[in-house]
Structure 1
Protein backbone atom coordinates (compact mmCIF):
# COMPACT_ATOMS: atom_id res chain seq x y z
CA UNK A 1 0.00 0.00 0.00
CA UNK A 2 1.26 3.45 -0.78
CA UNK A 3 1.42 6.26 1.74
CA UNK A 4 -1.87 7.82 2.79
CA UNK A 5 -1.87 11.56 2.12
CA UNK A 6 -4.22 13.70 4.17
CA UNK A 7 -4.87 17.18 2.74
CA UNK A 8 -6.23 19.23 5.61
CA UNK A 9 -6.94 22.67 6.96
CA UNK A 10 -6.62 22.96 10.77
CA UNK A 11 -9.72 25.10 11.38
CA UNK A 12 -11.93 22.73 9.35
CA UNK A 13 -14.15 20.66 11.67
CA UNK A 14 -14.31 17.69 9.27
CA UNK A 15 -10.52 17.75 8.99
CA UNK A 16 -10.09 17.67 12.77
CA UNK A 17 -12.57 14.79 13.07
CA UNK A 18 -10.78 12.92 10.28
CA UNK A 19 -7.36 13.39 11.92
CA UNK A 20 -8.78 12.20 15.24
CA UNK A 21 -10.29 9.11 13.54
CA UNK A 22 -7.04 8.25 11.72
CA UNK A 23 -5.00 8.69 14.89
CA UNK A 24 -7.47 6.64 17.00
CA UNK A 25 -7.18 3.81 14.45
CA UNK A 26 -3.35 4.00 14.39
CA UNK A 27 -3.29 4.78 10.68
CA UNK A 28 -0.09 6.38 9.37
CA UNK A 29 -0.54 9.37 7.11
CA UNK A 30 1.33 12.28 5.65
CA UNK A 31 -0.46 15.48 6.62
CA UNK A 32 -0.44 18.32 4.11
CA UNK A 33 -1.82 21.77 4.93
CA UNK A 34 -4.00 22.51 1.91
CA UNK A 35 -3.25 26.24 1.83
CA UNK A 36 0.47 26.10 2.66
CA UNK A 37 1.27 22.94 0.68
CA UNK A 38 -1.29 23.18 -2.09
CA UNK A 39 -1.37 20.14 -4.37
CA UNK A 40 0.57 20.61 -7.60
CA UNK A 41 -1.25 20.49 -10.93
CA UNK A 42 -0.01 16.90 -11.35
CA UNK A 43 -1.35 15.94 -7.91
CA UNK A 44 -4.68 17.64 -8.60
CA UNK A 45 -5.06 15.81 -11.90
CA UNK A 46 -4.29 12.52 -10.12
CA UNK A 47 -6.85 13.34 -7.41
CA UNK A 48 -9.39 14.22 -10.10
CA UNK A 49 -8.74 10.93 -11.87
CA UNK A 50 -9.70 9.07 -8.68
CA UNK A 51 -13.06 10.82 -8.24
CA UNK A 52 -16.29 9.34 -9.55
CA UNK A 53 -17.87 12.65 -10.55
CA UNK A 54 -14.83 14.80 -11.31
CA UNK A 55 -14.77 18.46 -10.36
CA UNK A 56 -18.28 18.32 -8.86
CA UNK A 57 -16.93 15.99 -6.20
CA UNK A 58 -13.84 18.08 -5.52
CA UNK A 59 -15.09 21.66 -5.46
CA UNK A 60 -16.57 23.32 -2.39
CA UNK A 61 -19.56 24.78 -4.21
CA UNK A 62 -21.12 26.12 -1.00
CA UNK A 63 -17.98 28.03 0.00
CA UNK A 64 -17.88 31.82 -0.13
CA UNK A 65 -14.79 31.57 -2.34
CA UNK A 66 -16.72 29.53 -4.91
CA UNK A 67 -19.76 31.80 -4.76
CA UNK A 68 -17.57 34.86 -5.37
CA UNK A 69 -16.02 33.43 -8.54
CA UNK A 70 -16.46 35.79 -11.44
CA UNK A 71 -16.39 33.14 -14.12
CA UNK A 72 -18.35 30.01 -14.86
CA UNK A 73 -16.00 27.07 -14.32
CA UNK A 74 -17.81 25.08 -16.99
CA UNK A 75 -16.49 27.56 -19.55
CA UNK A 76 -12.88 26.93 -18.54
CA UNK A 77 -10.56 24.18 -19.67
CA UNK A 78 -9.48 21.58 -17.13
CA UNK A 79 -5.98 23.06 -16.96
CA UNK A 80 -7.46 26.54 -16.30
CA UNK A 81 -9.60 25.16 -13.46
CA UNK A 82 -6.59 23.32 -11.99
CA UNK A 83 -4.53 26.54 -12.08
CA UNK A 84 -7.39 28.43 -10.41
CA UNK A 85 -7.57 25.83 -7.62
CA UNK A 86 -3.80 26.04 -7.08
CA UNK A 87 -4.14 29.82 -6.70
CA UNK A 88 -7.27 29.50 -4.55
CA UNK A 89 -7.17 26.18 -2.64
CA UNK A 90 -10.24 27.21 -0.61
CA UNK A 91 -12.18 26.04 -3.68
CA UNK A 92 -11.42 22.45 -2.68
CA UNK A 93 -13.67 20.39 -0.44
CA UNK A 94 -11.81 19.03 2.52
CA UNK A 95 -10.41 16.91 3.91
CA UNK A 96 -9.02 14.93 1.01
CA UNK A 97 -7.48 11.53 1.75
CA UNK A 98 -5.76 9.52 -0.93
CA UNK A 99 -3.47 6.52 -1.11
CA UNK A 100 -2.82 7.01 -4.82
CA UNK A 101 -5.41 4.40 -5.86
CA UNK A 102 -8.48 5.55 -3.93
CA UNK A 103 -9.79 8.85 -2.64
CA UNK A 104 -12.11 10.00 0.13
CA UNK A 105 -13.37 13.58 0.20
CA UNK A 106 -14.98 14.82 3.40
CA UNK A 107 -15.46 13.05 6.72
CA UNK A 108 -16.53 9.49 5.97
CA UNK A 109 -15.30 6.85 8.47
CA UNK A 110 -16.74 3.94 6.46
CA UNK A 111 -14.72 5.00 3.43
CA UNK A 112 -11.63 5.62 5.60
CA UNK A 113 -11.63 1.93 6.53
CA UNK A 114 -11.40 1.00 2.83
CA UNK A 115 -8.68 3.48 1.91
CA UNK A 116 -6.48 2.70 4.91
CA UNK A 117 -6.14 -1.05 4.21
Structure 2
Protein backbone atom coordinates (compact mmCIF):
# COMPACT_ATOMS: atom_id res chain seq x y z
CA UNK A 1 0.00 0.00 0.00
CA UNK A 2 1.26 3.47 -0.89
CA UNK A 3 0.66 6.54 1.27
CA UNK A 4 1.08 9.72 -0.76
CA UNK A 5 1.55 12.82 1.34
CA UNK A 6 2.97 16.28 1.49
CA UNK A 7 4.98 16.20 4.75
CA UNK A 8 4.16 19.83 5.67
CA UNK A 9 0.39 19.25 5.30
CA UNK A 10 -1.32 19.03 8.71
CA UNK A 11 -3.99 16.61 7.43
CA UNK A 12 -1.26 14.36 6.03
CA UNK A 13 0.56 14.41 9.38
CA UNK A 14 -2.67 13.45 11.15
CA UNK A 15 -3.33 10.65 8.65
CA UNK A 16 0.22 9.30 8.93
CA UNK A 17 -0.02 9.31 12.72
CA UNK A 18 -3.34 7.44 12.44
CA UNK A 19 -1.74 4.79 10.20
CA UNK A 20 1.18 4.35 12.60
CA UNK A 21 -1.08 4.16 15.67
CA UNK A 22 -3.18 1.46 13.98
CA UNK A 23 -0.04 -0.38 12.81
CA UNK A 24 -1.03 -0.20 9.15
CA UNK A 25 2.02 -0.89 6.99
CA UNK A 26 2.62 1.43 4.04
CA UNK A 27 5.22 2.81 1.71
CA UNK A 28 5.57 6.57 2.11
CA UNK A 29 5.79 8.81 -0.96
CA UNK A 30 6.25 12.59 -0.93
CA UNK A 31 3.80 13.91 -3.53
CA UNK A 32 5.82 17.11 -4.01
CA UNK A 33 9.10 15.29 -4.75
CA UNK A 34 7.58 12.38 -6.65
CA UNK A 35 4.45 13.63 -8.34
CA UNK A 36 2.11 10.95 -9.69
CA UNK A 37 2.23 10.46 -13.45
CA UNK A 38 -0.84 10.83 -15.65
CA UNK A 39 -0.80 7.04 -16.12
CA UNK A 40 -0.74 6.41 -12.35
CA UNK A 41 -3.53 8.89 -11.76
CA UNK A 42 -5.70 7.33 -14.46
CA UNK A 43 -5.17 3.88 -12.95
CA UNK A 44 -5.91 5.10 -9.43
CA UNK A 45 -9.06 7.01 -10.21
CA UNK A 46 -10.35 4.06 -12.25
CA UNK A 47 -9.47 1.61 -9.46
CA UNK A 48 -11.06 3.87 -6.86
CA UNK A 49 -14.20 4.25 -8.95
CA UNK A 50 -14.11 7.96 -8.12
CA UNK A 51 -14.77 11.03 -10.23
CA UNK A 52 -11.53 12.57 -11.45
CA UNK A 53 -12.47 15.89 -9.80
CA UNK A 54 -11.96 14.20 -6.38
CA UNK A 55 -8.23 14.05 -7.14
CA UNK A 56 -7.88 17.83 -7.36
CA UNK A 57 -6.75 19.76 -4.28
CA UNK A 58 -9.58 22.29 -4.54
CA UNK A 59 -8.44 24.17 -1.44
CA UNK A 60 -4.87 24.57 -2.68
CA UNK A 61 -3.27 27.86 -3.69
CA UNK A 62 -2.24 26.59 -7.13
CA UNK A 63 -5.78 25.35 -7.88
CA UNK A 64 -7.15 28.79 -7.03
CA UNK A 65 -4.42 30.70 -8.87
CA UNK A 66 -5.13 28.69 -12.02
CA UNK A 67 -8.91 29.28 -11.66
CA UNK A 68 -9.49 25.56 -12.14
CA UNK A 69 -12.93 25.67 -10.57
CA UNK A 70 -14.18 27.22 -13.81
CA UNK A 71 -11.87 25.38 -16.21
CA UNK A 72 -12.26 21.72 -15.17
CA UNK A 73 -15.77 21.38 -16.58
CA UNK A 74 -14.55 22.16 -20.09
CA UNK A 75 -11.39 20.02 -19.92
CA UNK A 76 -11.19 16.47 -21.22
CA UNK A 77 -10.19 13.59 -18.95
CA UNK A 78 -6.80 13.44 -20.65
CA UNK A 79 -6.24 17.18 -20.16
CA UNK A 80 -7.15 16.91 -16.47
CA UNK A 81 -4.80 13.95 -15.94
CA UNK A 82 -1.97 15.73 -17.74
CA UNK A 83 -2.55 18.83 -15.61
CA UNK A 84 -2.59 16.84 -12.34
CA UNK A 85 0.69 15.21 -13.35
CA UNK A 86 2.42 18.58 -13.68
CA UNK A 87 2.51 19.43 -9.96
CA UNK A 88 1.89 17.37 -6.82
CA UNK A 89 0.35 20.42 -5.15
CA UNK A 90 -2.65 20.10 -7.48
CA UNK A 91 -3.37 16.59 -6.19
CA UNK A 92 -5.66 16.07 -3.18
CA UNK A 93 -3.84 14.43 -0.32
CA UNK A 94 -3.29 12.27 1.51
CA UNK A 95 -3.87 9.39 -0.86
CA UNK A 96 -3.95 5.71 0.01
CA UNK A 97 -3.35 3.41 -2.94
CA UNK A 98 -4.15 -0.20 -2.14
CA UNK A 99 -4.50 -3.20 -4.42
CA UNK A 100 -8.28 -3.02 -4.63
CA UNK A 101 -9.21 0.50 -3.48
CA UNK A 102 -8.10 4.12 -3.34
CA UNK A 103 -8.76 6.63 -0.55
CA UNK A 104 -8.56 10.35 -1.29
CA UNK A 105 -8.27 12.74 1.65
CA UNK A 106 -8.41 11.73 5.30
CA UNK A 107 -11.84 10.70 6.52
CA UNK A 108 -11.23 8.63 9.64
CA UNK A 109 -14.42 6.56 9.43
CA UNK A 110 -13.75 5.65 5.79
CA UNK A 111 -10.16 4.71 6.64
CA UNK A 112 -11.31 2.51 9.54
CA UNK A 113 -13.74 0.68 7.25
CA UNK A 114 -11.12 0.03 4.57
CA UNK A 115 -7.91 -0.39 6.57
CA UNK A 116 -8.80 -2.07 9.87
What's the TM-score, normalizing by structure 2?
Answer: 0.86
Cα deviation code 1:36-59 (max 9, x no counterpart): 11112221002211143x122111
Give 1:1-117 correspondences, 5 Å limit: 4-49=1-46, 50-52=48-50, 54-69=51-66, 72-117=71-116
- Native 8 Å contact 1:38 1:89 kept in 2: yes
Unaligned runs of 5+ residues in structure 2 are none
Query: Which segments of structure 1 move beyond 3 Å, counting only runs of 4 or more?
Result: none
Q: CA RMSD in A?
A: 1.7
Q: CA deviation at 1:70?
A: 5.5
Deviation digits for residues 4-27 of structure 1, max 9, x if unmatched?
110100000110011101111111
- Aligned residue pairs: how many? 113
